[in-house]
Each structure stands twice: as C-alpha cells, then as structure tokens.
Structure 1
Amino acid sequence: MKISINKNTLESAIVLTNSYVDKKDSSNIASHLLFEVVEDKLIIRASDYEIGINYKIKKIKVESAGFATANAKSILDIIKSLNNEDVVLETIENFLFIRQKGTKYKLPMFNYEDFPNFPSTEGKDKFDIDSSDLSRSLKKILPAVDTNNPKYSLNGALLDIKTTHISFVGTDTKRLAVFTLNKTNEKEFNLCIPKKAILEMQKIFFEKIEIYYDENILIAKNDNFEFFTKLINDKFPDYERVIPKNITKEFIFKTEEFMDALKKINVITEKMKLNFHKDKLVFEGISLDNMEAKTELEMELNIDEEFNLCIKNKFITDFLNSIESETFKLSINEPHMAFLVSSEELQTVIMPVIL
C-alpha cells in the first residue's frame, strides 16, 4: 500500500475515528486503526467491538492498493505534528512508514485480517427516519442519560417507536427526559442506543443516511461512512408511569429571564431553593462554606399558599439549554414530589433534592 494524502484531511479523519478504538489495551488490535486503499479511496476503520466506523476519503493519490494498521493514538500524534502538506503512507513488510519531506516515522503493524469484522445490513429491517431529526431528538434528551449505571438500560436512550410518533427517553433516576417526534411509522418497536454511540452519532448524522437494525445491532450508512453500534437489550423502565398525571399548579416562565436568575445562584452552589410567593419568585442558594446568593423575579403567581422547591441547578439548566422557545411550563402536584418542566415536544420530570 502506498498513497499520498493531504495532512489536514487525514488528521480530521483520524481524530474522528480515534473515538471508536479500544484505549485500554494497546496490545489489542482494536487499539489500532485499519487503513484500506481501494481504487482512489482510503477507508479508515475503527472498532472496539461495541461500536465502529468505516470512514471513506475519496480522490486520493494512489500508487498501490492494500492494507495497513497503526496504533490510533500514535498515528494521531504523528500526523498532528506534521506540516500542512501532503503525507505519504507506505507499507513495507510489517511496518507502516509515514513520510513528509525530510521527516519519516516507522510504526509496527498488526495483521489486518485479525481486525474486527463490520456487521452486514443483510437480513436487517430498515428504519425510515431523517438523520437530522434523529440526531436532534437524541441531543434533546442526552443530558439525562446516565453513565456507568448498574441498571444497564439506563446507560442508553430508549427510542419507543409508535405508529404516530417516536418517544426519545433518557433517565439517570433523578430526572427523566422525553422528547416526542411526531412521525408516522409502519410498525411499533423500540431500540435502546448506548450513550457513547449517541455522542458519536452527533458528529456524523447530518447527511442523508440509511439506517438498519435488528435486536442487537444498529447500522447507518451513506457514501461517506458506515457506522454501527451494539444495542442495549436490557429492559428499559416504564417511563410513562413516572410522568406526573395529577397536576395542581402550573406556571409559565420566560426562558431567558429564568436562566439569568439561575446563573446567579450557580456562582456559589449547585443546588437552590425556589420560593414561590404570590407576587414574586425567589431563587436562593447556600454553599457548604456558608456563602449565600439570592435573586428574585417580580411576577404574579396567583397562588393561595406560598411554597418552595429544592432543586439541583444542573437539571433545570440542561432542560433550558435544550429548548428554543421563549417560555416554558413548570407543573407541580406537591412540592415534595417530582415536578415537570416542559416546552413544546420536550418534557423533563425532576426529583426534588434535600438541601
């Protein structure tokens, strides 16, 4: 294999594919990138067996086709150090040589035939959804998706596909976010996508793609890449039971105004007490070292009795950062119970905290 390629083009592809490799064990071939040259294309493959990508770079200068592997971190560090000029990649025996003018690197390779196989779309159902809708919907609920939870399903987002809509759901047990995408579907099914996969999907799901799935794998592909992720088979909690049904109080707040007040409390503490008075809303926070912050918004709340909510600031901030509307709704049953914030298709159930 011998090719010449622009340094910045190669670097961008290697940065993207580095997220898919096994970073824990450098002796594992999954810690390497696989380079395959076919006709005038370079295909860079990366996979840690749970998630993977084939990324294609077209119209490169090819002297000879073939395969190579290289440790993902090592080749990224090398390419970053080079100047913005063409780079030559060449395999000689069991080594990959990287050259640019008077600079040369020599990297050992693994046997490319040992590299993880990429799953096929054969026999898999097609999931008809616009890639930008999928990416945007997942992004809305991503902050609520947990990490390293013993309940494996909570480390991913549920796609609950109905004939009239799709509910995108994420929870870390302290809050639950649900985004509803109104879309007709031929049949009802559900998928649970791991959080790591969702993070990578945000980087590439902005072009027209085809998506295939079965009970274990989701595959997305177009002319520029092929992506796969294993799905989570653990049963997701019944999220509809968590959403409060009996609402006794509803308030409409201006998004920007509420966020500005919240930022003032965030300066000293990550939790706050939200005090509801008849003619104002008071934000109050006390830090562990007894620093205090207080700010208020004058407004008519039309309540018979004053009360307060104790809230983790980040939960409200994540919700507000995920909406575009100028206002949002806060719905309460009892102050000590879970409450609901909502705006258009996004709603988040939040558990109060103890200060």
Structure 2
Amino acid sequence: MKLTMDREDILPVLANMANIADRRPVQPILAHVLIEAAGQHCRFIATDQEVQLSVDKDHPVDMPGSCAVPARKLYDICRALPEHTPLEFHTDGDKLLLKAAKSRFTLHVLPASQFPYLSIHSNRCQGNCDAAQFREALAVTANTMAQNDARIFLNGVLLEIQGQEMRLVATDGHRLAMMTLPFASSLEAESFQCILPRKAVMELLRIVSTGDIQLSLSDTSFVLDDGSQQFACKLIDAKYPDYRRVIPQGHPFFAVIDRQSFKSALQQSEVLVSDRNPTTQVHLDDNLMTLRSRNEEQEEGEVELTIAYQSQALDIAFNSRYLTDTIQIFNQDQIRMRVKEGNSAAVFTPMDVDNPLYILMPVRL
C-alpha cells in the first residue's frame, strides 16, 4: 500500500478512530485502525466489538493494499505535525513507513485479514432523518442516561419509531428527557424500539453533524450512514420500561421562566450547595421564584428572579445538578415549568410545545 494525504484531510478521521479503538483491548488488533486503499478510494475502520466506525475518502492511491495500524499512535503522530503537512504512507511487510516533511516514523502493523468486523444483522426498520435534529435529540437525552446502573436498560437511550416519527427517551430513575423528530420510515409494523448503549450515544454526538442520514435498525444492531461514514453498534439486549407512565398528567400550575435569568440565578445559588447533598429548594409565589441553597457549614444562599406565575404558593426541592441540566437541554429563550404540588414531579418544556420534554422528580427533605 502506498498513498499520500494531507494532514488536515486525515486528522479528523483519525481522531474519531482513536476514540473508537479499544485502549485496553482483549485482542491487540482492537487497538488498531484498518486502512484499505485501492484505485481512487480509501477506507478507515475502527471497532471495539461494541461500536464500529467506517469512513470513506475519495483519494487517489499510488499502490493498493491494506493493513491495521495502531490507532492512538498514528493519531498522536499526525496531531503533532505542522498543519497541511503531506503524509506519505508506505507498507513494507509488517511495517508502515510514514514520511512527513523532515520526519520519518516506522509503525508495526497487523494483517488486515485479522481485523474483526462488527456483525450487522438484517434490518427490521429503515428510514431517513435530519442529522442536526437527530444530534439535538441525542444531546437532550444523553443528559439523563444512567451510568453503570444495575438495570442495564437505563444505561442508554431508547429509540422508538412510530409511524413517521422517531422518539428518543432516557431516564436514570430520577429524571427523564424525551424528544421527537420526523423520520421517513419504512417500518411495516406499528412501532419499533431499541436501546442505544451509552458509548454509542457519546460517539454519535461526536460524529453526527448536518445533512440527511439513513438509519437501519434490527433487534441487535444499529447502523447510521451519512454517505461518507457509517457508524454501527450493538444494542442493549433488554426491554425498556413504559416511559409513558412516568409522564405526569393534569399539572394545573405553570410558570414561565426566562432561560438566561434562570441560568444566572442557578449559578449564584449553586455556590453554597452542599457537595454531599446537592439540593436546591424552589419557592414559587406571585410572579416570583426563590432559589434557596444550604451546605454543611450552615451557610445559606437565597436568589430571587421574576417569572410569570400566578397560582398558589408552592415549595419544591430538586437535586441541584439535575435542575441545572434544564439550561443544557433547552435552548429557547423561555422555559415553561408545570407543577402540581411539592412532592410531585415538575415538567419542563419550551413555551409553546412539549418537545423536548424534561421531567424532574422532587427531593424529599
């Protein structure tokens, strides 16, 4: 194999490959990126046997061939080189020779025949959606995934297809986030559900950008294709709980909150929040929200902000970190907060629609 590429063309690809490749692999080749080159085309593939990323590049090849190169070492070398440096790759037996300006590197490579591709099963559902909307839905729900929970189905994001809509849902048992987006589906059944694992969600947030993407779903695998790169992963083998039972109904009171004012008030209140028990008490009264915090040293903070609220006075306490996540989930200027009583969950949405939706359970004091 022999080819020459500009550093700026390959560096973003290698960055994503290094994230995918396993740093402590059971099989040494899982720490490698597979490079395949022939004709006018190059392909880069990395996998840890749970997720897999394949990126195609239209680029002339001087000599066809393939090999598996240590992903992290190759990325670190290219990252350390000056911008727009031409990189010449040339395999010689079990070595890869890399020339870059006045620098020379020799890396040990493994045969391409040993590379363990992730197995992908036949589709049950396929369709297209907007990449930016899909990424936004992932970002909204990623905030509320559990981490290392014994209930494995919580350590990921539910992807549900119904008709021509796709819904993403995640919960850790204390809060829930949900977002719906249009999806041009080929699904023949009434609905389809699968659970994307945490690592897949975090990698998708890195690689999904704009344009139109195609999703292919089966009972065991998920594949995203944007025309130049293909991401695949295994799914969590579990049934997701009925999230609709968690969505409160009949919350009669609501407050309209300016997002930037809320952000500033939360930042002030958090200064004196307890590290061991991060709780913020929220008091709602006539067009006023008061945030109260307290820590182990008996220090106290109280921050007031003007809101639109004209219902009965109400006190409710939340985990401070989860309350602050509302600022990350919503990018609208105004947020609507629906409440019922002090021991009931609060529902956060944009002003005029219920999409996205964020449910936050109260803390019992």
Scaled by the length of structure 1, what TM-score is found? Answer: 0.91
After superposition, residues 189-338 of structure 1 pair within 5 angstroms as 189-205=192-208, 206-269=210-273, 270-278=278-286, 280-298=288-306, 301-304=309-312, 306-338=313-345
**How far is 1:278 from its partner?**
3.5
In 1, Cα distance between equivalents of 2:227 and 2:220: 24
Q: Is the 8 A contact 2:123 2:217 kept in 1?
A: no
The residue type equivalent to 1:262 in the other structure is: L
When the two chains are superposed, the root-mean-square deviation of aligned CA atoms in Å is 2.2
Long gaps (5+) in structure 2 = none
Deviation >6 Å, runs of 4+: none
> What secondary structure does 1:149 align onto?
coil
| Equivalent pair of 1:26/1:71 in contact (CA under 8 Å) | no
Q: Does 1:23 align with 2:23?
A: yes
Residues 90-239 of structure 1: matches in 2 within 5 Å? Answer: 90-119=90-119, 125-163=125-163, 165-181=165-181, 185=185, 186=187, 187=189, 188-205=191-208, 206-239=210-243
What SS is found at the alignment partner of 1:128?
strand
8 Å CA contact 2:256–2:309 kept in 1: the answer is no
- 1:83 is aligned to 2:82: yes
3-state SS of paired residue (1:209): strand
Amino acid at match of 1:309: I
Q: CA deviation at 1:48?
A: 0.4
Shift of residue 184, structure 1, vs aligned partner: 6.9
Residue 220 of structure 1: how far off its partner (Å): 1.9
Q: Distance in 2 between matches of 1:102 and 1:320?
A: 49
Query: 1 CA distance for matches of 2:305 and 2:6?
Result: 56
Q: Secondary structure at the match of 2:296?
A: coil
Alpha-carbon separation, structure 2, partners of 1:123 and 1:284: 51
Q: Identity over the aligned pairs, expressed in percent? A: 20
Other structure's SS at 1:284 match: strand
Q: Which runs of 5+ in 1 are unaligned?
A: none
Matched, 1:51 2:63: no
Instruction: Using the TM superposition, give the Cα deviation of residue 209 of structure 1 relative to its aligned residue in structure 2, in angstroms.
Output: 2.6
Distance in 2 between the 1:87 and 1:211 partners?
34
In the alignment, which residue of structure 2 is the partner of 1:2? 2
Q: Name the structure 1 match of 2:67.
A: 68
Is the alpha carbon distance of 1:245 and 1:120 closer, same or farther for their aligned partners in structure 2, counting shifts above 3 Å? closer
For the Cα contact (< 8 Å) 2:161–2:193, is it kept in 1? yes
Contact 2:257 2:308 in 1 (8 A): no
Amino acid corresponding to residue 308 of structure 1 in structure 2: D
Q: Decide whether the 8 Å contact of 2:258 with 2:307 is kept in 1.
A: no
Q: What one-letter code is carried by the residue in structure 2 that aligns with 1:141?
A: T
Q: Residue deviations 1:302-329, cap 9 Å, x none?
A: 344x331111222222223222332222
Summarize the Cα distance change of 1:195–1:82 in structure 2 as closer, same or farther, 3 Å threshold. Answer: same
Distance 1:183 1:7, change over 3 A: closer
